[in-house]
Amino acid sequence: MVDVEATCWEGTPPPGQTNEIIEIGLTVVDLAEGVRTARHRILVRPQRSRVSPFCTELTGLTQAEVDTGVTFAQACKILAAEHNANRLPWTSWGDYDRNQFTRQCKATGVAYPFSHDHTNAKLVFTEAHGLRKRPGMAQALEIAGLPLEGRHHSGEDDAWNIAALVLHLRDGGAWVSAGPS
């Protein structure tokens, strides 16, 4: 499971700034055993934007904290080398994370770090629960009767919670995957 946080503003971005990934949260799930086995966090130092007060309020991340992170290129290398992201299926809640990686890789000339075997867990959840509207992650946890663990809009915590939703779907027979996620 992957969840990213990116620089954001209350309105439009300031001139010359663009949304950039500042945190990548990952949770490893053993689908066969039905357990979350590991959680990881990669802080990413933005190159073309700054963390706004709005972004800090939403994510809890400060400019000083993300300044200690790695570059986006280094983060992508870590995903491939240490997490086999380029060979394993992966999941996010919605398409934002996949699209943000695609945009940022294209804009920076960095190789896309993930396999193309992506599952949109929000779509699977919506269909499995017969919902008309696609719920946000926190609302989906409520629907599933699961607690929100940690801070909402923390990449690491959100990836952990998305994994709980995937396991909920698995337990209900709605999750079909060829391998670890």
178 pLDDT higher than 70: no
Q: Which domains occur in the chain, in start order? A: 2-171 (3.30.420.10)
Classify 105 in phi/psi space as left (phi over 0), alpha (psi -120 to 50) or beta. alpha
Mean pLDDT of 110-122: 96
pLDDT score of 117 more than 50:
yes
pTM attached to this predicted model: 0.94
What does the alpha-carbon distance between residue 96 and residue 131 come to, in Å, rounded to a whole number? 20
Strand 2-6 relative to strand 90-92, pairing: unpaired
Residue 2 tokens, joined:
């992957």
Q: Which residue has the higher pLDDT, 96 or 178?
A: 96
- pLDDT, tens only, 71-88: 999 999 999 999 999 999
Structure confidence at residue 113 as a pLDDT band (50, 70, 90): very high
Q: Where do runs of H (alpha helix) occur along 87-176?
A: 96-108, 121-128, 137-144, 155-171
102-116, 119-133, 166-180 — which is least confidently predicted?
166-180
Tell me, what DSSP letter sits at residue 88? S
pLDDT interval class at 181 (50, 70, 90): very low
pLDDT of residue 99 exceeding 50, the answer is: yes
pLDDT digits (tens, 9 = 90+) for 18-58: 999 999 999 999 999 999 999 999 999 999 999 999 999 99
pLDDT confidence of 177, banded at 50, 70, 90?
A: low
Q: CA 110, CA 107: separation in Å to the nearest integer? A: 8
